[in-house]
Amino acid sequence: PADATANGRKSNNPIGVVDKTVSYTNGVTKVGKSTSYRADSLITVWEPADQWKGDFARTYFYMATCYSHMNSLWTTTEGLLTVDPNSPLLMRPWVYNLMLEWAEADPRDEIEQQRCDAIYEIQGNRNPFVDFPELCYYIWGDRTDEQFYCTEEHGAEIFVPAASEEIDFGLWPLSRPFSAKVQVRGRGLGEGATLAVTDESFVLDKTSLSPDEINEGTDIIVSVTPTEDGSYTTMLSLEGSGYMQQTPLTVSFVDGIPAYEATDIVCAVSSRRFNANWMNYEPGATYTLNVYTKDAQGQPKTFGTYETTDTTYQVKNVTPNTTYYYKVSIMEDGEAVVGSNEVKVEMPDVAPVFSVSIEDIAFTATPGKPSAPTQITVTAMAVPKYVTEVSTSRPFEVSSNGESWSQELTLTGTSPSFFVRFGGAYEEGDYAGEVIVSTEGLDDKIISVSCNVDETKSFFEDFETGSKGAYAAAEVSCSAATWEMSNALIAADDNALDKKCVRMKGYVKSGQTITTPAYIMMTTDKVNGCDSLWFYAGSYGNDTGVKMSVSYSVNGGQTWMKIASLAVGEMQRYGFEINRDGNIRIKFENENTGNKRVNIDNVQMSDWGDPVGLDIVQSSSQSSGAGGIELKVPSGVYDLSGRKVKRLQKGLYIQADKNGKWRVVNGQCSMFNVQ
């Protein structure tokens, strides 16, 4: 269970145990650093509350079992932390061991069973790991050498082949002998079973199986001796102990080279292709592939002829919505000494492309002010109509130019862009919503947007929008400021609180002269001064003895005032009171040489004059009594003209002392005195 804000913070990070720095929590979902993947390497994970961990574990078991055939699609960095595409178990050991632990600690409850039943009523399928919680131990646990049965009470039954299964051995050359294995496994056949086929072209190496052979699973060899090309079918009968099952077996033969169905058929804007495939009929031979279409009379029209020693060939630049054919042969002196069957390939229409550059955005803002905008790029290719509609709801806003803001936009073209921002709110807290991007005839793209409104976050830099992959000096535009970086880059390091953070190497020195300094500094000002500064810092990887400093400037970077020097280790949050009005810039420096590297993330400043160290809450009104009448008055600081200068946080009160002087106090106030 997660709302839009929590779901956005989870992003595409893997599930795990947050045992290091926590970057987000709402009491149900936690996001932060973890040693779950490897004790010596931190990754970002999300962790559900204890009462939901078993539910997630049984869902992961279901997904790994039912969708294991899609393992090759898991290609992202985050996905490969969880999935091992080369393992039949699909999940990596650290994942399935954690899921087994959670499944045991949080057993199936009534809510989970009711959910499974409700899904069955709608979809007609069930999660077997909910119905049979112990099943996971037979696949990933300590019972993998045991056979699992749904019930111990049973009669005679055959599991493999399944009762409704049809076995097709595919296409084979007529000139080669053919044989294949068929496994038989079952239980309850105390007298064993006899096996037979109905076509004399098929021969079995076994005509009977003992009860033990059936219980343990035994391969039988099926051989076929064809007399001509074509398809051969027989019925494999298994009978014993009152049980009878028949399984169709089919194999096809071609007089020549077996050419197989085309694979990897792609008809996209950027690529139109298919792979032609055939048997390695004569190892080392050169194969000639002939690809063609046919005219209205069925006569072939050559598209291309290709030579290869491989058994597959990628045919490129084909036409959408067109039927192609191919044959393969071995040539000698310009003549085909052996050929193949004909394979038909139906190319579909071009698949449309409709995507957005960002799918999750987390804004920060101060009360009453909009957030900094984020630009989104839309890719629309081969779509029915090149018109894109964008919509959202308050307090979020969209704009085509970053100047005029609304809740709806209409864009045109193949690569339009627009801006999104949080429009502002006076109440502190978390806000969440969606931006819907749509075009005719295709599924909408949903961008999850959230914003944390916090008086102390008048400046918040998380480096997520910055891009700098090398240590060479350069300026980088990020979400809150433009930074000059020397011997520093922005990377997806282990210490990043979300996806990215700054990594800064030590400075380079020649004799007593620093030739390459190591720093990051703001080249744009933060207005309204700075009351307090917070940031996260830590040593990179296994680096030790790392030292850094932080400074500020109030004159555009001409001179710098050092705030502190720090010896940093594990990534943690640091805070300092600056208490300066006007424009301000911040600078971080690495005080080491060489590879003593430091990570920096989530730099945050509050405006000058904001109170420090008080909890931030949503309500800004206080109750007070005077003469038996209860008044609701908004808390704030006003100048003599009645203009509100700033809003007060809960816990701060305006009160007159015994001398009639007004003051702001922290604590309980029994009366709001008006004189």
Confidence class of residue 267 from pLDDT cuts 50, 70 and 90? Answer: very high
In angstroms, the CA 426 to CA 406 distance is 19
Express each pLDDT in 24-46 by its tens digit: 888 899 998 889 888 777 888 99
Q: In 106-191, which ranges are continuous DSSP H helix?
A: 110-123, 128-131, 135-139
DSSP strand E in 202-271: where? Answer: 202-204, 208-209, 218-224, 230-240, 243-254, 259-267
Provide the pLDDT for residue 74. Answer: 76
* Listed residue (455, 460, 480, 431) closest to 368, CA to CA: 455
* Mutual angle of helices 50-66 and 110-123, in 10-degree steps: 30
Pairing status of strand 636-638 against strand 644-647: antiparallel
* Listed residue (285, 234, 288) closest to 259, CA to CA: 288
Provide the pLDDT for residue 10. Answer: 83
Residue 391, pLDDT above cutoff 80 = yes
Provide the pLDDT for residue 541. Answer: 87
Assigned token pair, 102: 């959670």
Average pLDDT for 317-332? 96
Express each pLDDT in 298-309 by its tens digit: 999 999 999 999
**97 φ/ψ angles, rounded to the nearest 5 degrees:** -65, -40
Express each pLDDT in 199-233 by its tens digit: 999 999 999 999 999 999 999 999 999 989 999 99
Provide the pLDDT for residue 620. Answer: 34
Which residue type does 276 have?
A
Contact 57, 99 (CB under 8 A): yes
297-311, 364-378, 628-642: least confident range: 628-642
* Listed residue (549, 563, 612, 556) closest to 584, CA to CA: 556
Q: What is the signed CA dihedral for 222, 226, 232, 234, rounded to 10 degrees?
A: -40
Q: Hey, what domains does the chain have and what are their CATH numbers?
A: 4-139 (no CATH), 157-254 (2.60.40.10), 259-346 (2.60.40.10), 353-357+367-440 (2.60.40), 459-605 (2.60.120.260), 623-666 (no CATH)
For 376, half-sphere exposure in the C-beta direction (CA atoms, 13 angstrom radius) is 28
Express each pLDDT in 228-254 by its tens digit: 999 999 999 999 988 999 999 999 999
In angstroms, the CA 588 to CA 250 distance is 72
In angstroms, the CA 398 to CA 407 distance is 6
Contact 157, 147 (CB under 8 A): no
Express each pLDDT in 535-589 by its tens digit: 999 999 889 999 999 999 999 999 999 999 999 999 999 999 999 999 999 999 9
Assigned token pair, 46: 């999300």
Which residue type does 293 have?
T
Q: What is the signed CA dihedral for 132, 138, 143, 144, rounded to 10 degrees?
A: 170
Provide the pLDDT for residue 43. Answer: 85
Express each pLDDT in 664-673 by its tens digit: 554 443 333 3
Express each pLDDT in 177-199 by its tens digit: 899 999 999 988 999 999 999 99
**Ramachandran quadrant class, 420 (left: phi over 0; alpha: psi -120 to 50; beta: rest):** beta
Residue 661, pLDDT above cutoff 80 = no
Edge-to-edge order in the sheet of strand 218-224: 157-160, 178-187, 218-224, 202-204
Q: What is the DSSP letter of 593?
A: B
* Listed residue (292, 288, 303, 279) closest to 333, CA to CA: 288
In angstroms, the CA 143 to CA 115 distance is 27
Cβ burial, residue 233 (10 Å; 0-12/13-18/19+):
middle
Express each pLDDT in 129-161 by its tens digit: 999 999 999 999 999 988 888 776 678 888 899
Average pLDDT for 97-116? 95
* Beta-carbon contacts of residue 430 (< 8 Å; ≥ 6 apart): 5, 450, 451, 452, 453
Average pLDDT for 498-510? 91
Provide the pLDDT for residue 655. Answer: 52
Q: In which element (H, E) is residue 435 found?
A: strand 429-438
Average pLDDT for 406-411? 97
In angstroms, the CA 167 to CA 164 distance is 10
Assigned token pair, 661: 């002087």
Provide the pLDDT for residue 663. Answer: 55
Provide the pLDDT for residue 422. Answer: 96
Provide the pLDDT for residue 5. Answer: 74
Average pLDDT for 70-92? 85
Percent of the chain residues topping a pLDDT of 70? 90
Express each pLDDT in 451-461 by its tens digit: 989 887 889 99
Provide the pLDDT for residue 632. Answer: 36
* Beta-carbon contacts of residue 15 (< 8 Å; ≥ 6 apart): 45, 46, 47, 48, 56, 60, 82, 95, 98
Confidence class of residue 613 from pLDDT cuts 50, 70 and 90? Answer: very low
- Tokens 């000639």 locate to 288
Residue 645, pLDDT above cutoff 70 = no
Provide the pLDDT for residue 439. Answer: 96
In angstroms, the CA 635 to CA 643 distance is 13
Residue 100, pLDDT above cutoff 70 = yes
Mean pLDDT of the chain: 87
Residue 368, pLDDT above cutoff 90 = no
Percent of the chain residues topping a pLDDT of 90? 66
Q: What is the DSSP letter of 89?
A: T
Ordered DSSP codes for 94-115 = HHHHHHHHHHHHS---HHHHHH
| 468-473-478 Cα angle (round to 5) | 40
* Listed residue (610, 612, 608, 604) closest to 554, CA to CA: 608
What is the pTM for the complete model shown?
A: 0.55
DSSP lists the bridge partners of residue 247 as 236
Express each pLDDT in 44-63 by its tens digit: 899 999 999 999 999 999 99
172-203 in b/e form (b: 16+ CB < 10 A) is bbbeeebebebebbbbbbeeebebebeeeebe
Provide the pLDDT for residue 170. Answer: 95
Provide the pLDDT for residue 71. Answer: 78
Confidence class of residue 20 from pLDDT cuts 50, 70 and 90? Answer: confident
Average pLDDT for 415-433? 93
